[in-house]
Structure 1
């Protein structure tokens, strides 16, 4: 069985040692040390190679048995089974334009999403402030919160998504839909308090909106349904 020992270096550091056989290539230092004891070692052949090209060379040796066999045959001639690749600085700076285009799109998308989220936060805050006095403003604030939630999910930020759901619960409170608001607040509070990293600001936000829920529910109970069950009022976060 013909074996080729391949060492990649720049004369200062070793970047990899490989054992090439007909059916495989291994980066295995223990096996390399063992095999070099069994096979007489001559002075290794040394070739200088572009540091960018060596990546493609190793990749081709891994995936192509045909190329690997011919590579071994060429560099084991004369019973010398050792080849050293000396890396030299690349002559050309390689730019991955395809990946650059993908990254550019992702960065621009992230910037636009952040920008849209900021505008929606400002607009949603204004409508939420008016929602205590005008029902249509509370409805609009809820719709804005849903759009914010979609953007937060697109960004992949669970903290912002949790805040958007709490904004939605605030709109539900203003529309007197206390039961739905209560479910959202308690769920977000339990998720926040059970997180690996506890967000104190998110917990305080839950407590603040819960206090508003209790206050608005108490006013609603006294004004509209004085005999309504007081379970909501007694439940405390």
Structure 2
């Protein structure tokens, strides 16, 4: 059996007296897309922030490629191989595509063997090949991110994850506010990430998209994982029952009737 790309075990998280995550566990295999769904306040955003190093769990463990991790910051998580594509993308709008992909990790060369300089030729060559590889429809890697469409901006973030050989990519509501064609392209790129052997966490509300792009779907409710099934073996109706707590209520009622 292959080692999971990402393994989360028994994660708890409190903010003061509020218990936001309760004993949450999940696994994502290399090349698998796991959908994470839940109503507002279910805890999915907090869980993603724990995985990506924004928050530290109060208890539990995170393993990446079988190795236990302890992230003090998002930079630690990124350096370990976890890339996060947030809904607001966290891109530098006034920089071009290439600068965004290499931001903080720019390749350098030495002029006359002495003076360190940005290796712009390498950046442009690498980015042009990368954008062609993901069929991004971005005509010029020198374009400022500010001037790109929503779908093209998503493509920049996905290209960055591919270039830096991420082991796990978290996609947080990646199709929010996108037009139909751009949504289809982003879903295709999510599958392309998985095709490269990357484990993908796809957080969303659109259950049609979730069932279409994800291999498995996990439902969170009030800070707990309450359901996990292969997409082919579940339905929108079943997911909604768990997302709204109806399935939990039915289980509790059955346990009271048949202790």
Q: TM-score range by the shorter chain?
A: under 0.3
**TM-score, structure 1 normalization:** 0.21
**TM-score, structure 2 normalization:** 0.19
